[in-house]
Each structure stands twice: as structure tokens, then as C-alpha cells.
Amino acid sequence: FTSFLLLPGASEEVAPPIQQCFMVPKKEINVVSDMAKWKRSQAYADYMGFILTLNEGVRGKKLTCEYKVSEAIEKLVALLDTLDRWIDETPPVDQPSRFGNKAFRTWYAKLDQEAEKLVSTVIPKHLADAAPEVAVYLKESVGNSTRIDYGTGHEAAFAAFLCCLCKIGVLRVDDQMAIVFKVFNRYLEVMRKLQKTYRMEPAGSQGVWGLDDFQFLPFIWGSSQLIDHPSLEPRHFVDEKVVNENHKDFMFLECILFITEMKTGPFAEHSNQLWNISAVPSWSKVNQGLIRMYKAECLEKFPVIQHFKFGSLLPIQPVTS
């Protein structure tokens, strides 16, 4: 498949001319029957193309390997560092209920207020008009401030945020590895800190029947990293020693480490789906299975996709090409 990430873009020096009317993205999926529109949309095709392009880009590569880090990547990491700092500045408050600490709403209000300004630090001046559109996906990517929950729909909004930055040419083909290993990985660290600090509820979690309470994409990209690994097989990720020794190299194992830190009891009980996956013979089979599962369990589920927003960069209009 080819995605717009793989299309030969404009050269580095010349800013690509953008004949585009940006718009603030809005909700388009209001009833279950609207899901057909989503599956036929340009947004779905571009989003899935983006996920699969990155899946290929990190195949067989370690988090610790060498890759190009562009100025745009550095600026995105700085943006995420800012969000992280705000968590430190907004400690949880004393409250009767254990879950969903209300201090998250204070933290979120700050992001809500500053999001456009933060996005403006990442995009060049000639694309300033895109900031309000792109900022919506950033705001949607950190959880819900009313329910104080976080789930795969929020994670999808962050991937959509990065996808939009590719579509306007801020991120380029040779940023692929850095998008996953530097930016998305930093995003995961900040989300884990949010989840821990404010004890956020999992959004739309299927409990023991789901893959994970909070994330999905790092399992996809993380399994791609492990394809053709000389010694690590899927059966090894349930081995604590293996996880402790290798988690700094592989996103998948980072996820397993976080789950075992957060949950008690036998792994097979609290993470049954992952336990089943550990029986799959190869990482490429795991990777293909997870992509199918992601489409079925996240992208084709109304409770997840009803919150997704559509604008000029990720349009609800049917696929043209």
C-alpha cells in the first residue's frame, strides 16, 4: 500500500504550497448507522494508511537504535515535556473517591487553554492557519475531563494529531522511526503518568477481555519491532526476567512492564487476551492479528469512534483516490 507519507513530497527547502481551507474538526458519527460513513471515509483510509506505514517503518528496529531526529520531532517532544511538567505542577487533590482525581480537570483546563499556542510552536509560520484544526486532536488525546477516563479513542486522537502533521508536511517520510520511537513513546510516558497520578478510569474498557485498559497502538508497533528477532519469541513476553532485561529496546515489553506494575495476580487472569497472544508462534502473526483486532475492537466500535472529529485534513467524505 502507499500512504501520503510515502509520496515524494516537496524538497526540504521549499515550503509546499497548501491550498487548503482549514476548519475546526467536528463530530460526524452520531448514530450507529453513521459508522458506514466512517469506514468509507478519506479519514479512515488516511488514518489506517498512517498506522500501517509506521508499522513497516519500525519493523525489526529497537527503540535504542540510531535514527534521524528532525527539528519538528524535537519540538513535539518539548510539547510533551510541557504536558509532563504541568502534571508535576498540578498534584492530585484529597477527595473521598479513589478513582478519577479531580485535579485532572485543572490540568486539562490548562491544556484546553494553551493547546493552540503549543501546536503553533511545532508548525511553521506559513501554516499557522492549521493550528486550530490540529490542536483539536491534541486536546482529544489526553482523556476526558468530565469522566476522568482515558482509552483507545484518546490514543487514536494522538495518532490523528501526528497524521495531520504529516499531511501538512511538518513531519516527513524520514521521520517515521522518530514519530514512533521518540514522539509516540514520550506520549505514552506522559499518559502513563496521567493515568497513575490522577487514577484515571479506563474508557470503554472490556476489562479482562480487552487487550489493555488504556493503549493499543504500542502493541501493534511493538510487535512489528520484534519481527524476526533472533531469540525473543511471543512466548517470552510473559517471562518477567525477559521483560526486565529487554523493555528499554521494545515498546511491546514496556507495555507489559507497565501492566505488571499496575495489576496484581496471575498474568493469565488480569490480561487474558495478551496471555493468549503469547501462544502465537511468530511475531509477524501477532502483528497481523493485532491489526485485525484493532480494526474490529477499536476502529469499528461505535462507543470509541463516536467521539472522533473530522475536519479538512481528516475528512468524513468518501475516499476519492
User: For the chain (length 321 residues), average pLDDT per consecutive 10?
Assistant: 43 50 97 97 97 98 97 98 98 94 98 98 96 98 97 97 97 96 98 97 74 95 98 96 97 96 92 95 98 96 96 95 63
- Is pTM beyond 0.85? Reply is yes
Sketch the domain layout of the chain as residue ranges: 27-205+302-310, 207-295
Give the chain's length: 321
Write down the pLDDT at residue 289.
97
Q: How is residue 242 written as a grid cell?
A: 525477559
Q: How is residue 220 written as a grid cell?
A: 501493534
Write down the pLDDT at residue 209.
66
Nearest Cα to 164, choosing from 136, 142, 183, 188?
136
Write down the pLDDT at residue 204.
73
Write down the pLDDT at residue 5.
52
CA distance 228 to 140: 35
Write down the pLDDT at residue 180.
98
Write down the pLDDT at residue 19.
61
Architecture of domain 207-295: Up-down Bundle (1.20)
What does the pLDDT look like over 269-309, one tens digit per residue? 999 999 999 999 999 999 999 999 999 999 999 999 999 99
Nearest Cα to 251, choosing from 299, 211, 219?
219
The DSSP H or E segment spanning 201 is strand 201-202
Cβ 25 vs Cβ 137: under 8 Å:
yes
